[in-house]
Amino acid sequence: MDYSRWSKRALIERLQNLDKLVGTLEPETATNTDIVMVTTGEVDSTTPKRSRPPMKFDFSNFPKRKVAFKFSYFGWAYHGLARQGNALESEEKRLVESEFPTIEGEVFRALAACKLIEDESSCDYSRCGRTDRGVSGFGQVIALYVRSAGQYISDEEVEAELAKGTDASRITRDEQNGGRAVLLPLVERELPYVNMLNKTLPPAIRILAWSPVMPEFNARFSCRSRFYRYFFSEEGLDIGAMKEAALKYLGVHDFRNFCRLDPAKQISNFERNVLDIAINPVAAQVSFVGDGQSAQGRWWQLELKGSAFLWHQVRCMMAILFHVGQGLEEPSIVDKMLDVENMDGKPEYEMACDVPLVLADCSFDAADVQWIHMRNPGVDFGNMMGLDRAISHEWGQLNTRAVIASALLQNLRNTAVPMQSENSEGADQLELTPWTQCRDKLIRSELASRSRIVLGGGDIKHVKVYQPMVKRRRADPVHSRNKKWFERKGDGKRVKTSSEQTE
């Protein structure tokens, strides 16, 4: 407002009016939006207006459809896939989720933010594989009902659509929509689910594709097989012995000695079918830091395919393979541990590290799932380009950190340190020697006095005397542990459901 042409009297009156108005307000509430600039004959057009409260989103105006999402995640920053109850149900649950974040908690926050679900309890949610803290996923799958761009139609309109030749599969009627008929849109006109969620999710979690599914589809029970990978360095390992031992897992076996038992689950059947297993070198396309000419720089992966797995089964299987690879056990130890008649209690051993484990893929019948990666196939590559850029950025940051750590380690190894040596006359003297030479000498000396157990992911455990697996203390037999738990807790304790019993 231009005050340059106002008279002195008018300016005084203006200030007095403003002073009276401001004086009626509490200091903490006197904000720009509380002061309305009013004068005799003029209104300040620049005064900010009060913002209207956001309108509540009415989900009843929109039909739902059941879909499956395939997504990836780096699990090392999260406390596992599964959330603890309904993560968004209450302030207490939200606080727990913020302190101990989970993959599902992030996914449900994104679904709610995009107004794709109204709440967690009514969307018929199911997951394919439950991964633990630190474990990553390349092809995890969930299924649930989400908001659709479709429309409700009357019975007369249903007949009219069918008469026009509309595909009958586009017309659905289920309980989630109150039994009302819904005309689903063509794929290119459906909501851009992948784009919407990836704009909201943290960079470590990416939706890769979506698929329409039938109302009876369940991500866990409809899955035909799960495929895991476990990445490890060759350093200190006999790969040939590990391959020999790994093949012994193939087929249907009782894996009670290769899992973590929770008596609260009251599991009695530990038979699982390993459909395929192999130890292969990491593909050349996967970049890594290290000298490929050295064992430390050569990387391998256990590739494991099965219909279902027990809790921590893959990490326990991998732990025994590490023992074999280091020469601490013979490959035949796998046969002995699979023979539950003679080894009816699990020996005490530490399972392999969680970080190198990846749920690489989940397989379904082609009739159940048809993954959609782009809205207009062959035309719209926006989703794929966005995914490529996001994952490349994550890879770039992690690879940069690996290079920096590698450079620091190299500096350390090249540092000259004083080391005792004998001169030509046999007397001891100090001589500057690269630390890498001192280190190698110390490691050889260390291995002569104690055993070194590789656990994967850079984790190593040292023990003074290695105890062979068959001579170790064992847990009580499964039936005994289950009975003790049930007698102690009684009938009042809920036994965990079968969906909580697998990895």
CA 75 to chain centre: 4
Q: What is the 8-class DSSP label of residue 241?
A: H
> What distances in angstroms separate CA 70 from CA 138, 218, 395, one per listed residue?
9, 13, 20
Let me know if 144 is exposed, middle or buried by CB neighbors in 10 A (0-12, 13-18, 19+).
buried
Q: Which tokens is 219 given?
A: 């991500």
Residue whose structure tokens are 């302030």:
91
d(CA 210, CA 143): 9
Strand bridging mode 136-147 / 357-363: parallel
Residue 296: closest CA among 454, 59, 493: 454
Do residues 437 and 323 lie in contact, with contact meaning Cβ atoms separated by under 8 Å? no
SS3 297: helix
Do residues 204 and 394 lie in contact, with contact meaning Cβ atoms separated by under 8 Å? yes
Rg of the chain over CA atoms, in angstroms? 32
Q: What is the 8-class DSSP label of residue 426?
A: S
Cβ count within 10 A of residue 458: 11
> What distances in angstroms separate CA 92 from CA 5, 97, 123, one per listed residue?
60, 9, 22
Q: What are the residues whose beta carbons fall under 8 Å from the beta carbon of 263, sequence distance 6 or more?
A: 481, 482, 484, 485, 486
Told to judge if 132 belongs to the known catalytic residues of this protein, a careful annotator would answer yes
For the stretch 276-300, what's the b/e string if a residue is b when 16 or more beta carbons lie within 10 angstroms of its beta carbon? ebebeebeeeeeeeeeeeeeeebbb
Q: What are the residues whose beta carbons fall under 8 Å from the beta carbon of 14, sequence distance 6 or more?
A: 3, 6, 39
Q: What are the residues whose beta carbons fall under 8 Å from the beta carbon of 281, sequence distance 6 or more?
A: 298, 299, 300, 301
Catalytic residue among 2, 34, 119, 132: 132
Angle formed at CA 103 by CA 101 and CA 107, multiple of 5 degrees = 110
Q: Which helix (H) or strand (E) holds 320?
A: helix 313-325
Active-site annotation, residues: 132
